[in-house]
Each structure stands twice: as structure tokens, then as C-alpha cells.
Structure 1
Amino acid sequence: MNVAADWLARSGIAVPSRADLIEAAVAGGLVLLMLAVGVAAGRTLGPRLVDWWTAHAGRTASVLRPRLSAILRHGTAALLLALALAAYPWSALAGVPIGIALGAAAALTVHHLMRGVGIPRWASWTVEAIVFVALFSRAVGGLEPITRTLDAIGVTVGSRRLSLLALVSTLVTVVVLIALVRLSTRVLGHSIEGARALDPTQKILAQKIAGIAAVVIAFFFGIDLLGIDLTAFAVFSGAFGLAVGFGMQKTIGNLIAGIILLMDRSIKPGDVIAVGTSFGWVNKIGVRAVSVVTRDGKEHLIPNEDLMTREVENWSYSDRNVRVRIPVRVPYDCDLKQAQALMLKAAVDSPRVLDSPKPNVWLTAFGTDGVEHEILAWISDPESGVGNVKSDVLNRLWWTFKEAGIAIPFAQREVYVRGWEAAREPSPRP
């Protein structure tokens, strides 16, 4: 023991005293105890936290649910270790086990939180490394040497200094704010979605406003946290804002148009609309475009501005009932009353045709090949398609016409030839 102490003294390394060793042993015991408390908290309170989060976070729960027990375990240990570090002036030797455990627990907590909200791995690992180094340095003697070194590496541009310390601070602030914005928007979105006082359109509008508000608040909070003076960029920001305004006028126009559509409720998710050649039901009203799903399963993304400036047919704006016109032609020599009764029966027997308003049969014209009719039938689910209703009614009508002996007329032409015999005689030769 004396030989080792003499070697350390000759090497310039301070020999720990008996009191330092005892204090380090106590710190190690506290570390083990607090890690055990963290494990116990994760096992006992973790399932309850998972149930609570599933009930209050909705779709977000599926992302963070597998990580909640680990977050609670490491977070509890990190909190207890931080309290222990602040409660007593530990020596550098005793601060080593506390610093290692505190840095590792905090880094693991940050890892599960950031990965749970979709932060990329490289950003998550960078922040974890910074958190570990900062907390470990704080435990063994302070951050001043590290911050002084990082601040010394940099350049001065005008009246501002760009250093490695500023870069690290900016990176950590941006990543943390992005994670908080993602988490808050998802939780707020689920809370708004569960509000019974709002209809679906108002819920979408409230979710979009809440998302924009969260981004704006995070932006100004980050500017204040980083100490960036916006007055220095007044002239530049004016010119830049003008350029961005011209370049993004379509994007901003689509954003405002989408908000107006949600506010006046002229187009809502679930409505059946026709815009130009696109026909289908509205799946989602986004920031830039409206998603319209056709009966073929294709999803058309129509810019919000087009729905504000072009003519749009909304089949379910004030009433979901839609009238379907089915043209039918019967021959002139049939029993017209019987044919019309069979047309009405085919419409009534179709399962999607409504009983009220009642279907009807109109005689529309005396055509060249037969008597023209239209079967007028009402449906209440246009998103399920219109062509299949016509097909069902016409199929039923085909078999009822067959049973009644009524033929379906088709185009026929009769040619009358006059002077046939004269045409067959040979013309006299000159």
C-alpha cells in the first residue's frame, strides 16, 4: 500500500485519503440504491403509466408505449441521482460513480423520449452524448473547463462570435424543441379529437391551429433561449421575407384556402365531390391539398386553392341524398304501363335505393328506336358509388323484362329501293 502511495505521489497524482475512499463507497452505495429504486418504479408504476398514456394519447400511444417503462425507470434514477448530487458537496472521487450513473440514466431517458417521437438516430445520439458529458463533468468538478475550451474554438464575424459552444447549444436546443413540438402536437391533437363539443371539421381546424401555434411558440422560445437578437436581421429579414413571400405565395395561398374551407365547412371529410375529372369522397383536408379517394382506389391530391376558385360539385353539402338517373328504352309495341311498373319494381327492389324519397319513372321522349324513359332513384351513400346502383337496377330490369316478354329495342333501319326493275335493264348502246 505504501509503495503504491509513493508511486502516485511521485507521479503527481493526489492520493485519496481514507475519508475520500469512505465517501466514494457511500456514493457508490447510493448509486446502487437509486438505480434499484428506478428499476422498481419502472416495474410497478410502468404498467399504470402505459394504461394512462394509452387512454390520453391515442395514436401517439402506439409509438411511445413500448418505451414508457424504460423512460420511467431511467428518469426516476436520473432525478434521484441529481438530487443526491445537489444535496451534498461530494469530492471529485465520490462524484465519479454518481456522475457516470447520472449521465447514463439521463442519456437513456433522452434516447427513449426522442426515438419515441421520431427524432433521427444521429440527432438523438448527439444529444445523448452531450447530456452524458455535461452531467458527468458537473459531478466531478464542473463544466467550466469544457465550456471554456469549446468557446475558444471559433471565429468572430462582425460583432458576433461563432464558436463550437454556440453550435452545440444550438443543436441541442433545436433537437429538444422539435421533440417537444412533435409530442405536444400529437397529445393536443388527440385531446381535440376526443372533444365532444366539436364536429369533425372544427376538430381538424383546431388541430391545425394548435400545430401552428406550437411551432410558433417553440420558434420564439428557441430564439430567446439562444439569445439571438432579431433586430440585427431586420433589413435582411425584410428582403428575405419578401423573396419568400413571392416564392411561396402558392403554398401560403393553399394554407389559407385550407383554413377557409375548414371554417366555412363547405367541404368536409366524408363529403362526395366532383372537381373537373376527379370524383370521389374527401379523405383528408391537409395544409396544402385535399385528398380525394375515387372508387378505383386512386387518391387525388387537389390543391386547396383549386377548390376555392373552381366550380366544385358537393353531393353531400347540405343533404346526403343523391338522385340517380337511369335511362331505359322500351319498344313501341309493348304494354307501356306494364313496362313502367316493372321499371319501378326494379328500382324499389334494389337494396341501396331509398324508400323515401320514393323512386319514380318518367317518360322523357318518343325516340327513333323506342320509347325513352328515366328511372329516378335516390341513394344516401354516394361515397359507395353510383355506377353499381345503375348496374343493379338494370340487371333486375333485364330479368323482369325477360319474364314479361318485353324486348329491349335496338337500332333498325329499313331501306326502300324504287325502280329496281328499271335499274336492272341494260342501257342501250349508242
Structure 2
Amino acid sequence: MALHDDLLNTSVSAPLGDVLGLWQGIIGSVESYVMTLWRPWVGYQLLIALAVLLVAQLLKMVLAPRLHAWMRAREGWPMWRIRWLVVLHKRLRGILFVGMIWLVVIVMRDLTWNSRSYQLSIIANLATAWLVVALTTRLIGNPILRKAVRYGAWVWVTLSILGQTDTFTNLMDNIAFSIGTMRISVLLVVQAILILGVLWFAARFMSHTVRSRITGNADISPSMQVLAVKAMQLLFYGMAVFIGLKTIGIDLTGLAVLSGAIGVGLGFGLQKVVSNLVSGIILLLDKSIKPGDVISLGDTFGWINSLGARYVSITTRDGKEYLIPNEDLITGQVVNWSHSNDFVRLDIYFGTAYGDNPHDVRRIAIEAAMSVPRVLESRPTVCHIVGFGDSSVDYILRFWISDPTGGLTNIRGNVFLALWDAFAANGISIPFPQREVKVLEGSELRTRPASSQLREDAADAGRAPMPD
């Protein structure tokens, strides 16, 4: 013990002294607690706590299967409610223990002296704090961040209940280093992580709330919804970082010059990226395209899934997803099949024989096109003669659809098939090029054996003639 006291009284550096002070406080608390274990009621309280824990375990074994079966029967409930039930199911033993231990503390305070329930009160406070931390940290989506916050909060509440927070705070504050005029300590880093984490979580919660309200407003166009959501996210997250850095005492004036230099460098090195970002903002503002539109850009035909800061996601009919840079949509020629409305007119060409009545052909073609389900009846389908070909009378058939997302090739194929069936049922022929060979009067038609023709062809090609 003398050597132990001499070591504690030796002059040491501030961090080492704080470590020894914290260790001395913990050892002293443990020694005093061990000494109190010799008192009968202290041991009784520990036995009561163990008994309550055992009862909580037994109740969990009985209630957990029933609660699980009840949860599986809750069809149609919102997903967030099911997730919270799963969390409560996993923490059922802790919830039962906290409820019963506090009930025991209240009863013992009414029936006996407070000193005979002091250790139970500490255990109840610790169990309650640990349970609250475990439940609240479930709101953090990132698993790594959730575990870090959970374990850090458990350590902090334990130190607070045991009365060792001041010593631990001084220890973290004395472990520091300086960069210029800025002093960075472990306490400052921990405070920064906590403050920025809370502000970041608040910004994320507010951005999700605003996004749900904006996307649920039918009066706002889809492109303006995307722009408003991205602007709100940038505002909330920027405010979270700015307020967090100012709260922990970091001077941000020096970052102005650095950000200016970085901006100049990025302007030269990331011209394409900046161009795509600006083009994305223009696309959102002018409402030329929006999620759900059907567009054609070169050989790419599909509908827009989402508008990003750098690219537009387009899904084609064959399931391929193309990421088109925003700059290409600004500088290139884009066909928006559903810009102002969803009505699209399609044209197909066909020909019939000269012996067929054109009036009947036009009437039958219009009726055949109107029989296809996707062809609109509200907009007129027309058929016109466009020319007299070498072997057919050429027509154009024009019809309207209102669902270009359903595809264009398939509807054209269905209309062609309807024309084929209608022409076959009404005796209208679809001609094809034919050639006629006429033998003039006075001429002779001679034929020769195939072997003679082969020998002549071989001689013309410079090869040896084939034997008979």
C-alpha cells in the first residue's frame, strides 16, 4: 500500500495523472462496493436482482413465442410498426426486467428503509438507461454508426450513474495536440462526432419528411419535385455541417480561401462534371423531360426512371437501363413522346393489287386498325393513297395510341396482323413483284443438257471441263 501511495503522489504529466485518477476512482468505488457486500442487505439486494432477472427470462420464454405468432398474424400493418414490434420482441427480457425491478424498488421503499433498496436503484437506473439507448439507437440506419453510438452511450450513462463523468471528461480533454492555433483533444473529437451525428440525423429526418410531402403534392410537376427535394437535401445537410462545426468552436473563415482555390481547380479539371450538373438543373427547371416520359435519343428508346444530378436513367423495352449524361439531353436532339400529352400517332405503309377497289381497301383497313385494343377510338384513324407503284397501289394508315410506354413495335405488328386477317376475309390481295417471260413469234426456244451447260461454265471460268 505504501508503494501504491508513493506512485499516486509522484508528479506525472496531466494525461497520465488523469488516467491514474480515473483508475483510482474506479478502484475506490469497487473496493467500497466490495466492502459493503459484507452487509446482509446488500447481498440480499443482489440476490433479489438476480431473481428478477431469472423471472424475466422465464417470462420471455413463455411470452416470446406467443408474441411472435401474434406479430405474424398482423397482416396489412405498416412496415414501420412491424419493425418496431420486432425490436421490442428482441428486447423483451430487458423490458420485463426493467419493469419488474422498478416495481420491486418502489415496493421496498414503501416497506423498508431507502438504504435497503439503494443497490437495486442503481441496477434499475443502469438497466433503464441501457434499454433506452438500445431502443433509440435503432433509429440510426447505418449499422457501424449505430453500434458506435450505442456502445459510446452505454459507457457514458454508466459513468454518469457511477459519478465518474468529470474525471473521464478531464482525461479526454487533456489528451490533445495542437495544429497552429487550434487545439484538438479527444473530448473535442467526441463532441464533434456526437453533435454532427445528431444534426445529420435531424437533417436526414427533415429531408425525408419534406420529400414525402413534396412527392405527395399532385400540383407540383415531377421535375420540380425532384429539384425541390434535392435543394432541400442540400440545404439541410449543409446547415447540419455548418452549425455542427461552429458549435464545437472550429473557425470556418480560413476555409473560404481554401474553398475558392479548390473551386478554381475543380472548374478546370471537372468541366464535364460541372456541365452535367448545370444541365441537370436546367432540365429540372424547364420541365422538358420528367420521370415517366417516353423519349428517343439516337438509337435509345425508353422511359425515364429518375433524374439524377449527373445523368438520367432510361429503361428500354428489353430491360436495359441506360445512364444518359445530362449534357447529351441538352445539346442533342431528343424526341419526347409524352412531353405535353401521351397521345402518339403512328404510321404504317402497305399496298394492294390494282384489281381491288381503293374505297373498300380504305374502309377495311380503318376497321381493322380500330379493332386493335390499344388503338384509340376518340381520335380518328385515317387511310390515304400515297402513290401508284409498279405492282401495287400504295397506302398509308395513321392511328393514335395513348400509352407509348407499352411499346411501338408491338402495336404496329398487331395492326399489320389485323390488316392481314381483314384482307384475307374480304378477298383483297397483297401483291409482290412478278416477272413475265414472253417468247416472240418466229423465235425458237431451245434447251440443252445440264452437263453441256456445266462444261461451258467451267471453260469460262478457266477450269478443266467435267467429263460426261
1:124 corresponds to: 146
Larger Rg: 2
Q: How far does residue 391 in structure 1 lie from its aligned partner after superposition?
A: 1.2
Identity of aligned residues (%): 34
Alpha carbons of structure 1 residues 250 and 417: separation in structure 2 relative to 1, 3 Å: farther
1:221 corresponds to: 243
Q: How far does residue 177 in structure 1 lie from its aligned partner after superposition?
A: 3.6
Q: Find the partner of 2:316 among 294, 297, 303.
A: 294
Aligned counterparts of 1:225 and 1:246: Cα–Cα separation in 2: 34
* Mapped pair 1:165 → 2:187: yes
Name the amino acid aligned to 1:157.
I
- For 1:288-367, list aligned pairs within 5 A: 288-367=310-389
Aligned counterparts of 2:90 and 2:169: Cα–Cα separation in 1: 29
Aligned counterparts of 1:321 and 1:272: Cα–Cα separation in 2: 11
Q: The residue matched to 2:413 in structure 1 has which SS?
A: helix
Alpha carbons of structure 1 residues 66 and 220: separation in structure 2 relative to 1, 3 Å: farther
Aligned counterparts of 1:93 and 1:193: Cα–Cα separation in 2: 54
* C-alpha contact 1:258 1:289 (8 A) present in aligned 2: yes
1:126-183 Cα offsets, whole Å, 9 max, x none, are 1111111112212221422212222333432222233333333333344434433333
Q: The residue matched to 1:363 in structure 2 has which SS?
A: strand
For the aligned residues, what is the CA RMSD?
A: 4.4
Name the amino acid aligned to 2:426.
A
Aligned counterparts of 2:402 and 2:31: Cα–Cα separation in 1: 89
* C-alpha contact 1:95 1:140 (8 A) present in aligned 2: no
Aligned counterparts of 2:233 and 2:375: Cα–Cα separation in 1: 42
More displaced 10-residue stretch of structure 1: 312-321 or 259-268: 259-268
Aligned counterparts of 1:307 and 1:167: Cα–Cα separation in 2: 45
2:254 corresponds to: 232
Aligned counterparts of 1:307 and 1:12: Cα–Cα separation in 2: 74
* C-alpha contact 2:87 2:135 (8 A) present in aligned 1: no
* C-alpha contact 1:99 1:136 (8 A) present in aligned 2: no
Q: The residue matched to 1:270 in structure 2 has which SS?
A: coil
1:367-393 Cα offsets, whole Å, 9 max, x none, are 223121110111111111112221111
- For 1:233-312, list aligned pairs within 5 A: 233-312=255-334
More displaced 10-residue stretch of structure 1: 305-314 or 255-264: 255-264
Name the amino acid aligned to 2:392.
G
Q: How far does residue 417 in structure 1 lie from its aligned partner after superposition?
A: 8.2
* C-alpha contact 1:99 1:140 (8 A) present in aligned 2: no
Q: Find the partner of 1:113 among 139, 156, 174.
A: 139
Q: Find the partner of 1:181 among 203, 206, 211.
A: 203
Query: TM-score of the superposition, structure 2-length normalised?
Result: 0.69
Displaced runs of 4 or more, over 6 A: 70-75, 92-95, 416-420
Alpha carbons of structure 1 residues 141 and 422: separation in structure 2 relative to 1, 3 Å: closer
Q: How far does residue 195 in structure 1 lie from its aligned partner after superposition?
A: 2.9
Q: How far does residue 69 in structure 1 lie from its aligned partner after superposition?
A: 5.7
2:213 corresponds to: 191
* C-alpha contact 1:271 1:317 (8 A) present in aligned 2: yes
Structure 1: segments with no counterpart, 5+ residues? 1-7, 37-42, 55-59, 82-89, 425-430
Q: How far does residue 13 in structure 1 lie from its aligned partner after superposition?
A: 3.9
Q: Find the partner of 1:403 among 397, 403, 425.
A: 425
Q: How far does residue 322 in structure 1 lie from its aligned partner after superposition?
A: 1.0
* Mapped pair 1:146 → 2:168: yes
Aligned counterparts of 2:213 and 2:197: Cα–Cα separation in 1: 24
Query: TM-score of the superposition, structure 1-length normalised?
Result: 0.74
* Mapped pair 1:375 → 2:428: no
Q: The residue matched to 1:230 in structure 2 has which SS?
A: coil
Aligned length, in residue pairs: 383
